[in-house]
Amino acid sequence: MYFDMPQAIAADLQDCGDCPIRHRAVCARCETDELERLDQIKYYRSYEAGQTIVWSGEPMDFVGSLVRGIATLSQTMEDGRTQMVGLLLPSDFVGRPGRRGAAYDVVATTDLVMCCFRKVPFEEMMARTPHIAQRLLEMTLDELDAAREWMLVLGRKTAREKIASLLSIIARRDATLNLRAQDAKIVFDLPLTREAMADYLGLTLETVSRQISALKRDGVIVLEGKRHVTIPDFERLLDEAGDDSDGGFLS
């Protein structure tokens, strides 16, 4: 189940040129006529925090991009255990053209808005629109690189490095989406609870809380409440994550 988007938000997003993810989304390289064709098959959906967007194996009649908000990808094993396997941030793509069902459970972590495309018309448009197919390929390869880097995080990094790595991913994406330089102060609201961070990073809740407190005490982050994070020096955060200034993680 999903909710009709409030009219004020819908009106704000109708013009693709004003879309906050326009420069990073699957339509980033589309020409005006291509955007017009996409507009004919698009619609918006909004979800509340905690709501399931799609269950693993469930048929999907749409694909789309997150415009606002955060979602998680998770997989449930036969014995009922669930593992979070990925984060979806604004501009990330949901769904797989050419595949009937969903590969993972997709759950809204925060209230979110998706720009959706009817799946069959989108697949047909991909076949005749190189700009869309090329951009989707780039996004898929970026996702593959990020997944390989995440294997390093989970397998080899210390608890402190894991926390710093996750913060750097979110901080870099925030800076990219808002077209801010990464050498400037970055401020964002952490989209995950500490319990969710523990699940995602393979740590205990106590370890996550202890490491966040240590990063705060050492001045690597400034924390207001439990979620409002300021990164005064992004290079220092990368040092704590064990990454160099070139990234390690894709933005």
Answer for the pair 223, 184: CB distance below 8 angstroms, yes or no: no
* Secondary structure of 58-110 as H, E, C letters: CECCEEEEEEECCEEEEEECCCCCEEEEEEECCCCEECCCCCCECCCEEEECC
DSSP SS3 for 138: helix
For residues 243 and 15, give the distance between their C-alpha atoms in angstroms, rounded to a whole number.
38
The residue with tokens 């490095």 is 161
172-191 burial, b at 16+ Cβ within 10 Å, e below that, comes to bbbbbbeeeebeeebbbebb
Tell me the pLDDT band of 247, cut-offs 50, 70 and 90: very low
Position 163 scores a pLDDT of 94
Average pLDDT of the chain, as a whole number:
84
Q: What is the DSSP code (8-state) at residue 251?
A: -
Burial class (CB in 10 A: 0-12, 13-18, 19+), 27: buried
Tell me the pLDDT band of 193, cut-offs 50, 70 and 90: confident
pLDDT(5) > 90:
no
pLDDT(176) > 80:
no
For residues 149 and 121, give the distance between their C-alpha atoms in angstroms, rounded to a whole number.
34
pTM, 2 dp:
0.78
DSSP SS3 for 231: strand
Q: What would the pLDDT profile of 32-77 be if each residue is shown by its tens digit?
A: 888 888 999 999 999 999 999 999 999 999 999 999 998 999 888 8
Give the DSSP H or E segment for 24: none
pLDDT(3) > 60:
no
Q: What would the pLDDT profile of 127-144 be if each residue is shown by its tens digit?
A: 988 889 999 999 888 888
For residues 221 and 164, give the distance between their C-alpha atoms in angstroms, rounded to a whole number.
9
Task: Please count the other Cβ atoms lying within 10 Å of the Cβ belonging to residue 1.
Answer: 6
What percent of the chain is predicted at pLDDT more than 90? 41
Position 149 scores a pLDDT of 77
Position 13 scores a pLDDT of 59
All structural domains of the chain, each given as residue ranges with its CATH number in brackets, are: 7-146 (2.60.120.10), 157-241 (1.10.10.10)
Q: Between 138 and 181, whose confidence is greater?
A: 138
For residues 57 and 182, give the distance between their C-alpha atoms in angstroms, rounded to a whole number.
38
Tell me the pLDDT band of 246, cut-offs 50, 70 and 90: very low
Position 10 scores a pLDDT of 47
For residues 106-112, average pLDDT: 92
